[in-house]
Chain A
Amino acid sequence: MQVYLKIVVTSILLLSSLAIADTRIKGTGGVSSISGSGGGGIIPWATLGGLATQDQSSMTGFISRADVDDFTLDVKGLAVNLNNRVEFSLARQDFTIKANDAQISQNKYGLKVKVAGDLIFGQLPQVSVGIEGNSLRDPETARAVGARDDDGIDVYVSAAKAWIDGPFHRTSMLNLNVRSTRANQFGLLGYGGDDQDRQLMIEAAAAMFVTRSLAIGIEYRQKADNLSALIEEDASDVFIAWFPNKHLSLTAAYVRLGDIAGAPNQNGFYFSLQGAL
């Protein structure tokens, strides 16, 4: 908790030195992913959170909830974007098992650096490299199911490209991630297993601005199946995101998380509210 608090305080101090940054085109900062980093919902994108340009910095804060058949996941967090180059993020995930109200919580810390290109302009896609640190606060379940560790590090490379005049003359975006991870169920069931350990996973997203304020899209996240005792499946979602202005977004999604800890076909709704400065 102490580290968590420290990061919150540091972020607020950083924010106090920032002016309101809103000089990129609305929606091009995306929303907040469940890891806290800028992106879609279930995966981060190459975009950095907020609407800072290279001359500015910005900050985003969010709350999200996924409610599937047998579980809920509540996430809150924030991210600081420095000069649209470096993004620091943190998030707290609280996972609840509906049947017995038991909770598993973990903290996520993220660093994402834009290394090349631009989302909209020029030929190169925007390419970013990210690191996610994950620490499980309730490791008993993870240990019980055979996970090797309570914490783990993910590293990913992400590329995103938007076309102003995309399909149907609508501004559209594609994003592709390659992630090196040991996580079981986003880390909620620990890291590494008896079957497999670190692996490369693919993640992808496609989105389209139907109007200047309304985007629709899909996401896919390949997930490893490290534990012999349980089945883990890939996750996907379809989403709609509303950007009433440059400082607010509301996302609704239908998520399919597959089998989680022996409970099959975990589908349900996801909502996320983001504020950006």
Chain B
Amino acid sequence: MRAFPSFKTSRLFATATLLSLFLGCSNMTPEKTLYQRLGSAEGVANITELFILEIARDERVIAYFEDSNVQRFREKFIEHLCMITDGPCEYSGDTMVDIHVGMNVTEGAFTAIVEDLIEAMTKADVAIGTQNQVLDRLARLRPEIIYL
């Protein structure tokens, strides 16, 4: 029996420790995905419901939704929000451009929708830092939505 590990073993051990420091920190305490921080399926469904309620009473944007099917919007928005926050979903709806072309969504209407989503997430007790990560990802879609 050896009193100390061999040079080879200790080097291996050191390499493994270093590797785990570089790669493993997040594995030891796995960071939740954005989707999980929204409360996973239940959370995303709840936010979507609150979002629809905010839109329904928002005179600035309600006209844009006159011809939309609420059930379909709910379904597709849940999918989209789930996918965009790294959840286990595939968005199966139309492209952002296809949906918004001809609607001439103004810059102001887009902001109004952003505010409605902030309000929905706030009511769902989503932390402001998590809200900002969601908004940042959705904001990238802006060129595919406004003035089409």
Contact = CB atoms under 8 A, between A and B. Distances in A.
Contacts of B115: 25
Nearest to B107: A53
A25 B118 CA distance: 11
Interface string B52-74: 00000000100000000000000
B135 interface: yes
A23 B112 contact: yes
Interface in B94-138: 106-109, 111-112, 114-115, 118, 128-130, 132-133, 135-136
A31 to B, nearest CB: 19
Interface residues of A, number: 20
Contact of B111 (A53, A164, A168, A169): A53
Nearest to A164: B136
Contact of A55 (B107, B129, B143): B107
B11 interface: no
Contacts of B114: 25
B132 to A, nearest CB: 4
A165 interface: yes
What does DSSP make chain B's interface, helix, strand, loop or mixed?
helix
Contacts, number: 51
Contacts of A171: 132
B123 to A, nearest CB: 13
Contacts of B118: 212
Main secondary structure of the interface of A (DSSP, over half): loop
Given A169-B132, A170-B128, A56 B108 contact: yes
B139 A169 contact: no
Interface string A153-175: 00000000001111011110000
Contacts of A25: 111, 114-115
Contacts of A10: none
B108 A211 contact: no
Interface of A: 23-25, 53-56, 120-122, 163-166, 168-171, 211-212
Interface of B: 60, 106-109, 111-112, 114-115, 118, 128-130, 132-133, 135-136, 139, 142-143
25 contacts: A23-B60, A23-B106, A23-B107, A23-B111, A24-B107, A24-B108, A25-B111, A25-B114, A53-B106, A55-B107, A55-B108, A120-B139, A121-B139, A122-B143, A164-B132, A165-B135, A165-B136, A169-B129, A169-B130, A169-B133, A170-B128, A170-B132, A171-B132, A211-B128, A212-B118
